[in-house]
């Protein structure tokens, strides 16, 4: 399993458009990717679950992935969360 804690840098936090971008990034990999915030976990492939976390800009989340391509999957999702990839 690969895990990385990051601070969400997007101005809107993890709401509609960034959540869709996270889901799209996660879908490019076979790994099971999840985002944890405040004791709750959402599947990264589900924009609805991600937005339900209620993550605001500047808050910290943990991105976890399990599978053969877990490392690049985590990095792709992190890139979206920190604003390095277009939503």
Domains of the chain: 2-81 (3.30.1340.10)
Active-site positions read 15
- pTM to 2 decimals? 0.93
pLDDT at residue 87 above 90? no
Mean of the per-residue pLDDT values of the chain: 94
Q: Residues with Cβ < 8 Å from 85, sequence gap 6 or more?
A: 21, 25, 76, 79
């Amino acid at each position: 399993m690969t895990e990385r804690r990051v601070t969400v840098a997007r101005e809107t936090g993890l709401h509609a458009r960034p959540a869709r971008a996270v889901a799209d990034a996660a879908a490019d990999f076979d790994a099971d990717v999840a985002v944890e915030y405040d004791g709750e976990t959402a599947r990264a492939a589900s924009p609805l679950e991600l937005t339900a976390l209620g993550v605001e800009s500047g808050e910290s989340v943990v991105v976890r992935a399990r599978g053969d391509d877990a490392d690049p999957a985590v990095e792709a999702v992190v890139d979206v969360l920190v604003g390095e990839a277009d939503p």
